[in-house]
Structure 1
Amino acid sequence: MQKHEKITDDLDLLLDILPQQISAVLRELDDSDNLLEVVMDLGRLPKARFVNREVVLSEQEITYDDIKAVTRSISEFDADNRAGIERTLHRISAIRNRRQEVIGLTCRIGRAVYGTSDIIQDLIESGASILILGRPGVGKTTILRETARILAEKSRVIIVDTSNEIGGDGDVPHPAIGSARRMQVAKPSLQHEVMIEAVENHNPEVIVIDEIGRELEAMAARTIAERGVQLIGTAHGNTLENLLLNPTLSDLVGGIESVTLSDEEARRRGTQKTVLERRAPATFDMLVEIQDRNRVAVQNDVSAAVDALLRGYPLPPEIRYRDEQNRIHTQKPVVPKISTAAQAVSRAGKRETMPFSRSTGNQRSEVGILAGATPPLALAEMETQPLKPINIFPFGVARNRLTQAAKLLNVPARIVRELKEADALLTLRRYYRERQQPIVEAEQRKMPIFVLRSNTSQQLEQFLVDVFNLASVEEISGQDRTVVDQTQAAIEAVLNGERWIDLAPASSTIRRLQHEMARQADLVSHSYGKEPNRHVRIFRE
């Protein structure tokens, strides 16, 4: 186990270039381990930002002289308005006015921390290309720097250092990168060219790059990976989903494209004819999301994770964390059995409920059920029997929309505020990926966890349709078949240009079916009027 030894790169060198009243307060605070950055804006009070707090450093506002005194003591600002102090990892970023005068400075504290990458060291040494994500300031560059040092002990490593954050300012790189070689970038817009130059000219086995943020850089990364070079990099974005929705960078994880399926394939999958699919193999083999300094989430197969995300059933990541004794723990993901909501909530009550008999309708739902064990309550009933109430604990889901959806479908869904009162937990996939406390507690209680793709009324209504096992077209026959045909004709009329169609008054059972048919056609439907004349209107969004 590596010992964690924090090295602040000559903090005194940074303090010496700051105004005296500011540096004096920082020395008195004596909290350099948690200091992130010092902010100086013209006409405002200077502030220090720590990990968990923000401190005003002086009651005197920053003047032009204060800013000029700092800028005279550092290197020249590059095209990206960043500068530094020779052979340190500190970064000074400028804010300019319209006359290109510097009127604000952000002084980021640079640190080399030995041992930070031990939490993913086995992944680094596996030879796989790894993409690191995380919010600003969480420690992506620190891990990247340590990764370069470790790999350079056994492999030929080239660092493409666009802003001198990895190897520090000046021509001689900081010793924290070990024997890795560093290529600087004259302009941020040329980063992709330097990436390709590194491969063509210097025969690296590993390339390390910070902040992949442009389409050309994403294309260069794919070229490097296809040449068999291990690539370790960071990108803008906190999660895999953020990256996938970013059209500039989605190619890093394979990209997405809209695909039109044949009628037969759409029926087989139980989806609409137009779906999203991964366009190409992912550039990176693995993805590491840094949640905080001592906790990461790992997707060991990026391509599989993207495929699952596009199908609405995100794969839970592997969680790794470091405890107070510096021991590393790994929580292996439990690959959930995905089924429809009605199947999950009916497992425990087979003696009391009718068997689940729907076939192709089962797969069309975009609601994933993650249930590690048998749910505690039998809830699903066929439409011909009274529906039993379900106590639902929504976590990260709009309660008002869920209430409206329950009212619209006329189902006895009860919204509870305590997890202990719930029969099931309803959440969004990004909350499930983050493994927050209610998710973990629900799993410990062996409670069904329903995961929605998005927080929309359509998703919530589809969830209720599945969880209450509402009637499908295949279950309607006889006299009600005429109503089904009329509904289908109304849907086709709206699809062909009609603004809306009002259907004939119908029972709550038929109205539920009509709402479901409209959803399948990507149309909107609402119920209007009072019983027994309550009817459904179908229209476009």
Structure 2
Amino acid sequence: MVHELRYEHNEEYTVTDDLDAMLAAIPPRISRPLKEMPDLPDLIEVVMDLGRLPEARFPHREVTLGDNEVTHEDLRYVISRIGSFGDDNRAGIERTLHRISAIRNRKGDVIGITCRVGRAVMGTINIIRDLVETGKSILILGRPGVGKTTMLREVARVLSEDLRKRVIIVDTSNEIAGDGDIPHPAIGRARRMQVPTPSMQHAVMIEAVENHMPEVIIIDEIGTELEAAAARTIAERGVQLIGTAHGNTLENLMMNPTLSDLIGGIQSVTLGDEEAKRRGTQKSILERKAPPTFNILVEIQDRDRVAIHPDVAETVDAILRGYEIKPEVRWRDATGKVHIERGVASYFQERPSRRLENRMDSGIDRKSVPVTTETQNIPRNTKQESEETLPEAQEPIIKPKKVYPFGVSRNKLEQAAIRMGVPIIIVKNLDEAEVVITVDNYYRKAPPAIKDAGTRGKSVYVLRTNSATHIERLLSSLFHIPIPVDPVLSAQYEAEEAAQKILNDEVPAVKLSPQTHSIRRMQHQIAERYNLQSRSSGKEPFRSVTLFKGE
């Protein structure tokens, strides 16, 4: 089934960065040129390495600060104005969220410093607030610097202030609540337990639940087997657990033997002959060992986009059985609305078999293959034509269509169905299908599957190309509904299709349609996700993004 695309309003971000405190800890000769930069609010970090020129790093550029190399005196200047370094070589500035990290030589002397700007960003939780309020344990994944800790900080504030819950933060390296004995106000009423050394994080986690009766415990960077075991102990005591872990996706976590216990653990099981035959699998299979520590998993793809697995146990089981999974995707558009793209219920739809892929490559002389364009007279789906949501009993009912894709991208078909708001069920067997969709170059070869479909009177639709645009046009005709026009989604699809063409070496570069600044920023992020280069060119309102491979 394909669920609706829902829209919700979103608040604006409010950012607190305490940049003055950071600049005061940096030698004046280095901070002076930094203060004059117009994009200073976007500063990510300042890097000072002995014998090299100091650098300031911004989201899309790096700037050298002055013409003089960093000296021991410069490093001592910073060290004297910050807190003490812990065993993990991290320090902070009291009452701020800034993180100062040291690089040492073999003697233990500091020869490099990274001054990373810490920001309290209010509004980041809105995209997952409904999940946080369920009381279920949530695990947040994402690459370094994507905003995991920032989101944890905001979760602590909302749970402790808005929901008035007893929240304890286990704060290793003072990452969440800042340096010093008094926590940063960004965590609201939440209490903070500092960790003397990273190796003691698991012990402080247990201490928190045993001594302070929390309703919620928040942990950053679960990274060891002991910490994973402590997290399970906390969850089993009925405490809501919200934390982050190393890894970008659920699949990364499943392949990590140290942390896989967070999602239930993976074990090898040998089936009997009859059971293996019944399941249609090999005798040796992988299964989940236990209930997951975390009920919900959130993958932060970028600041305005997350993928959500609302039932970790179900998702892990589906992956282990070789089924397709489709997480729920949420993102903010240029207007600040949160779009929720419900995942296609494909947990129990098997991936195409290798035999089918081989059949797709076989060529047969094209003969008379009946092609029909008949469609049922189905009530028009008016849901996508208005942002108003009708009561469930009043919604127009559209009968799902069972679709057998032959040579058509399954992902594109599912995404198009979600965007169109129409129900399709992708089947693996031609006998179950009501509709067969193929592409012109496969149709020309007239393979047996297409021949069989025609002789059985199945409706066969031939796409000119395997593109999202042509798939959407077909679904529009099939369900008698107009193609919805959403400038943000259209721009997203255009960028993703361009990226695919470049990666497939179909074209060296693609210039996208002119867009507004915020949409161009999204397209730059898409290019980065595909490891491509991008640049903007032209004058407003005709400024556009070009995607290309890096040298």
* TMscore range, shorter length: 0.5 to 0.7
Contact 1:145-1:166 at 8 Å conserved across structures = yes
Counting only pairs closer than 5 Å after superposition, residues 528-539 of structure 1 correspond to structure 2 as none
**Aligned counterpart, 2:39:** 31
Give the Cα–Cα distance (whole angstroms) in 2 for the partners of residues 295 and 386 of structure 1. Answer: 42
**Aligned counterpart, 1:95:** 103
**Aligned counterpart, 1:232:** 242
* SS state at 1:95 partner: strand
**Aligned counterpart, 1:513:** none
Instruction: Tell me if 1:298 matches 2:279.
Output: no
Give CA deviations for 1:284-339 in whole Å, capped at 9, x if unaligned: 00001111111111110011111112222241111111112211111111123436
**Aligned counterpart, 1:137:** 145
**Aligned counterpart, 1:338:** 350
**Aligned counterpart, 1:78:** 86
Give the Cα–Cα distance (whole angstroms) in 1 for the partners of residues 57 and 324 of structure 2. Answer: 35
What residue identity is the alignment partner of 1:64?
Answer: H
**Aligned counterpart, 1:49:** 57
> Residues 437 and 312 (structure 1 numbering): CA distance in 2 closer, same or farther, change over 3 Å?
farther
**Aligned counterpart, 1:64:** 72
Q: CA deviation at 1:152?
A: 0.5
Contact 1:253-1:284 at 8 Å conserved across structures = yes
Q: CA deviation at 1:99?
A: 0.2
1:14 is aligned, of 13, 22, 33, to 22
Give the Cα–Cα distance (whole angstroms) in 2 for the partners of residues 56 and 15 of structure 1. Answer: 16
**Aligned counterpart, 1:539:** none
Instruction: Tell me if 1:123 matches 2:131.
Output: yes
Q: CA deviation at 1:45?
A: 1.9
Give the Cα–Cα distance (whole angstroms) in 2 for the partners of residues 387 and 115 of structure 1. Answer: 54
> Residues 378 and 2 (structure 1 numbering): CA distance in 2 closer, same or farther, change over 3 Å?
closer
Give the Cα–Cα distance (whole angstroms) in 1 for the partners of residues 87 and 183 of structure 2. Answer: 20
Give the Cα–Cα distance (whole angstroms) in 1 for the partners of residues 264 and 56 of structure 2. Answer: 40
Q: Which moved more, 1:307-316 or 1:83-92?
A: 307-316
Contact 2:139-2:298 at 8 Å conserved across structures = yes
Q: CA deviation at 1:33?
A: 3.3
Contact 1:196-1:224 at 8 Å conserved across structures = yes
Q: Which moved more, 1:12-21 or 1:152-161?
A: 12-21
**Aligned counterpart, 1:278:** 288
Give CA deviations for 1:214-258 in whole Å, capped at 9, x if unaligned: 110000000000000000000111111111111111100111111
Instruction: Tell me if 1:202 matches 2:263.
Output: no
Q: CA deviation at 1:31?
A: 1.9
Q: CA deviation at 1:378?
A: 8.4
**Aligned counterpart, 2:269:** 259
Bigger RCO (CA 8 Å, 6+ sep): 2
* SS state at 2:317 partner: helix
* SS state at 1:152 partner: helix
* SS state at 1:4 partner: coil
Give the Cα–Cα distance (whole angstroms) in 1 for the partners of residues 11 and 437 of structure 2. Answer: 46
Contact 1:380-1:387 at 8 Å conserved across structures = no
Instruction: Tell me if 1:324 matches 2:342.
Output: no
**Aligned counterpart, 1:508:** none
**Greater Rg by CA:** 1
What residue identity is the alignment partner of 1:222?
Answer: R
Instruction: Tell me if 1:222 matches 2:232.
Output: yes
Give the Cα–Cα distance (whole angstroms) in 1 for the partners of residues 343 and 10 of structure 2. Answer: 26
Give the Cα–Cα distance (whole angstroms) in 2 for the partners of residues 235 and 421 of structure 1. Answer: 34
What residue identity is the alignment partner of 1:236?
Answer: H
Give the Cα–Cα distance (whole angstroms) in 1 for the partners of residues 217 and 62 of structure 2. Answer: 36
Instruction: Tell me if 1:150 matches 2:158.
Output: yes
**Aligned counterpart, 2:322:** 312
1:377 is aligned, of 438, 444, 451, to 438
Give the Cα–Cα distance (whole angstroms) in 2 for the partners of residues 43 and 306 of structure 1. Answer: 50
Give the Cα–Cα distance (whole angstroms) in 1 for the partners of residues 204 and 495 of structure 2. Answer: 44
Gaps of 5+ in 2: 1-8, 361-365, 371-408, 415-423, 425-434, 451-464, 472-491, 499-551
What residue identity is the alignment partner of 2:279?
Answer: R
Instruction: Tell me if 1:163 matches 2:173.
Output: yes
Give the Cα–Cα distance (whole angstroms) in 2 for the partners of residues 318 and 121 of structure 1. Answer: 15
Give the Cα–Cα distance (whole angstroms) in 2 for the partners of residues 8 and 369 of structure 1. Answer: 44
1:250 is aligned, of 239, 260, 265, to 260
Give CA deviations for 1:187-236 in whole Å, capped at 9, x if unaligned: 10000000000000000000011111111000000000000000000011
Give the Cα–Cα distance (whole angstroms) in 2 for the partners of residues 56 and 18 of structure 1. Answer: 14
Q: Which moved more, 1:47-56 or 1:319-328?
A: 47-56
TM-score, L = length of structure 1: 0.66
Aligned residues: 387
What residue identity is the alignment partner of 1:51?
Answer: P
Q: CA deviation at 1:437?
A: 4.8
**Aligned counterpart, 2:403:** none
**Aligned counterpart, 1:509:** none
Contact 1:305-1:314 at 8 Å conserved across structures = no
Q: CA deviation at 1:183?
A: 0.4
* SS state at 1:29 partner: coil
Give CA deviations for 1:344-376 in whole Å, capped at 9, x if unaligned: 999xx9x959xxxxxxxxxxxxxx966546453
Give the Cα–Cα distance (whole angstroms) in 2 for the partners of residues 298 and 422 of structure 1. Answer: 26
Give the Cα–Cα distance (whole angstroms) in 1 for the partners of residues 305 and 190 of structure 2. Answer: 26
* SS state at 1:143 partner: helix
Q: Which moved more, 1:128-137 or 1:323-332?
A: 323-332
Give the Cα–Cα distance (whole angstroms) in 2 for the partners of residues 316 and 178 of structure 1. Answer: 35
Counting only pairs closer than 5 Å after superposition, residues 447-458 of structure 1 correspond to structure 2 as none
TM-score, L = length of structure 2: 0.65
> Residues 322 and 2 (structure 1 numbering): CA distance in 2 closer, same or farther, change over 3 Å?
closer
Contact 2:202-2:226 at 8 Å conserved across structures = yes
* SS state at 1:268 partner: helix
> Residues 267 and 110 (structure 1 numbering): CA distance in 2 closer, same or farther, change over 3 Å?
same
What residue identity is the alignment partner of 2:350?
Answer: I
* SS state at 1:376 partner: strand
Gaps of 5+ in 1: 354-367, 391-417, 425-435, 443-541
Aligned residues with identical type, % of pairs = 60
What residue identity is the alignment partner of 2:46?
Answer: V
What residue identity is the alignment partner of 2:124?
Answer: T
> Residues 296 and 41 (structure 1 numbering): CA distance in 2 closer, same or farther, change over 3 Å?
same
Contact 2:468-2:493 at 8 Å conserved across structures = no
> Residues 325 and 369 (structure 1 numbering): CA distance in 2 closer, same or farther, change over 3 Å?
closer
Give CA deviations for 1:85-118 in whole Å, capped at 9, x if unaligned: 1100001011111000011111110111111101
Contact 1:380-1:388 at 8 Å conserved across structures = no
> Residues 69 and 55 (structure 1 numbering): CA distance in 2 closer, same or farther, change over 3 Å?
same
